[in-house]
Amino acid sequence: MKPDPTKPVELKKQGQEQFKIKWADGHESAYSFRFLRQSCGCAGCRNELTGERILNPEMVPADLKGLKVDLVGNYALHFSFSDHHETGIYPFNVLRTICPCDECLSLTETTDERE
């Protein structure tokens, strides 16, 4: 049986700049807290009905810090950011989907080209 690619086996906050996840399939994702804030899916950042982004990603401060990370059940993370935003929940499957590494980005681009 293949390991679940959306199951984290290690979660690690690296200072206030970056968060890393090692997944059950061996893949590792590194997210800047600014990237996570820009990717927030809460109702204040995305239209609840259409999913359209409301938040202008360029309005997120370049020096944004990640202050706190909490586990939400066994399925998601909750981040508190230095801009006082803390309403988003980041399910593990979403975090894996938005992995910003070159390997994942190239897979996303290949998928986008087929659609």
Residue 2 maps to a domain: no
* Residue 53 included in any domain: yes
- pLDDT band, very low/low/confident/very high, at 78 (cuts 50, 70, 90): very high
Task: Give pLDDT tens digits for 94-103.
Answer: 999 999 999 9
Distances (CA, A) of 43 to 36, 49, 79, 89: 15, 9, 15, 11
pLDDT above 70 coverage of the chain, percent:
93
Helices (H), 39-101: 92-97
- The CATH number of residue 64's host domain is 3.30.2020.30
Beta strands in 15-115 (DSSP E): 18-23, 28-32, 66-72, 76-81, 89-91
For residue 43, the cross-strand partners are: none
Using pLDDT thresholds of 50, 70 and 90, give the confidence band for residue 111: low
Closest CA to 90 of 44, 40, 51, 49: 40
The pLDDT tens digits of the residues spanning 35-77 come to 999 999 999 999 999 999 999 999 999 999 999 999 999 999 9
- Domain around 100: 8-114
pLDDT of amino acid 109: 64
Q: Tell me how many domains the chain contains.
A: 1
Token representation of residue 108? 């996303």
The stretch 10-32 carries a mean pLDDT of 97
